[in-house]
């Protein structure tokens, strides 16, 4: 009877902790990108297969950025970089689209040496593709502070206002001009 009770207790404990352990073992990584208005960058990554979360916020230098938690087994850092480049104007050092000033400049914030290497390689490829100097810096990640809850998922919560902002800002038009004919971000 005593062995039976211990077995039941063991099964109960294991059934409780197994999902917790599986969740703890799930591999996650972090990427941080600044591409002008954080609402627009968040929209690119939010809900993407392999992306666990995309959070709008600020770096220590008060640059608008998005911190992305992702599963590297489902989406690669290279794919995140490709999406980043195709959603910014990497030749503009004064901001992005209609948003001007230092807080709206583009940047890649790397979290380890591998990310740094991949970001530098992709930046060189972009310069080759565009045949222009890319001014987007590649910087070590610093402290990230999430924006207020009202600013998270703004593109979902305020669809009409967000759509008007994007149109008036000229973001999509400039992206088409810059990237319209580019199918691959790998130089030919």
Q: Let me know if residue 1 belongs to a domain.
A: no
pLDDT at 12 over 50: no
pLDDT at 149: 93
Tokens 């850092």, residue located: 77
Q: What is the CA radius of gyration of the chain?
A: 21
pLDDT in tens, 17-53: 555 444 455 699 999 999 999 999 999 999 999 999 9
pLDDT tens by residue, 64-99: 999 999 999 999 999 999 999 999 999 999 999 999
Residue 20 has a pLDDT of: 47
Structure token digits, residue 86: 């195709």
DSSP 155-182: HHHTHHHHHHHHHHHTHHHHHHHHHTT-
Q: How many CB atoms lie within 10 A of CB 143?
A: 9
Give residue-wise pLDDT tens across range 137-169. Answer: 999 999 999 999 999 998 999 999 999 998 899
Does 18 fall in a domain?
A: no
Task: Write the CATH number for 58.
Answer: 3.30.1060.10
Is 68 part of any domain?
A: yes
Q: Is 136 left (phi over 0), alpha (psi -120 to 50) or beta?
A: beta
Domain count, the chain: 1
**Is 50 exceeded by the pLDDT of residue 55?**
yes
Please report whether residue 148 resides in a domain. yes
Contact 109, 81 (CB under 8 A): no
d(CA 95, CA 57): 16
Residue 96 maps to a domain = yes
- Its pTM surpasses 0.85: no
Please indicate, yes or no, if residue 10 is contained in any of the structural domains.
Answer: no
Cα–Cα dist 188/180, whole Å: 16
The per-residue pLDDT for 177 is 92
Is the pLDDT higher at 181 or at 98? 98
Residue 135 lies in a domain: yes
Does residue 156 form part of some domain? yes
**How many residues would you count in the chain?**
188
Residue 182 pLDDT > 50: yes
Active site residues: 37
Distance CA 49, CA 72 (A): 11
Q: How confident is the model at residue 180 (pLDDT cuts 50, 70, 90)?
A: confident
CB count within 10 Å of CB 63 equals: 23
The domain containing residue 53 runs over which residues?
25-179
């Amino acid at each position: 009877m005593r062995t039976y009770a211990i077995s039941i207790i063991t099964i109960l404990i294991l059934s409780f902790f197994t999902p917790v352990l599986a969740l703890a073992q799930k591999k996650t990584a972090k990427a941080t990108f600044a591409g002008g208005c954080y609402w627009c960058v968040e929209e690119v990554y939010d809900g993407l297969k392999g992306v666990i979360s995309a959070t709008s916020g600020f770096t220590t230098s008060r640059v608008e950025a998005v911190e992305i938690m992702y599963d590297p087994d489902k989406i690669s850092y290279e794919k995140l970089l490709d999406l980043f480049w195709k959603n910014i104007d990497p030749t503009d050092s004064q901001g992005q689209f209609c948003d001007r000033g230092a807080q709206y400049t583009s940047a890649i914030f790397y979290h380890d040496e591998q990310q740094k290497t991949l970001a530098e390689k992709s930046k060189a490829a972009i310069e080759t593709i565009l045949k222009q100097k890319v001014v987007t810096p590649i910087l070590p990640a610093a402290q990230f502070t999430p924006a207020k809850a009202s600013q998270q998922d703004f593109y979902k919560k305020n669809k009409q206002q967000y759509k008007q902002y994007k149109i008036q800002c000229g973001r999509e038009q400039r992206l088409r001009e810059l990237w319209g004919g580019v199918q691959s971000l790998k130089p030919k």
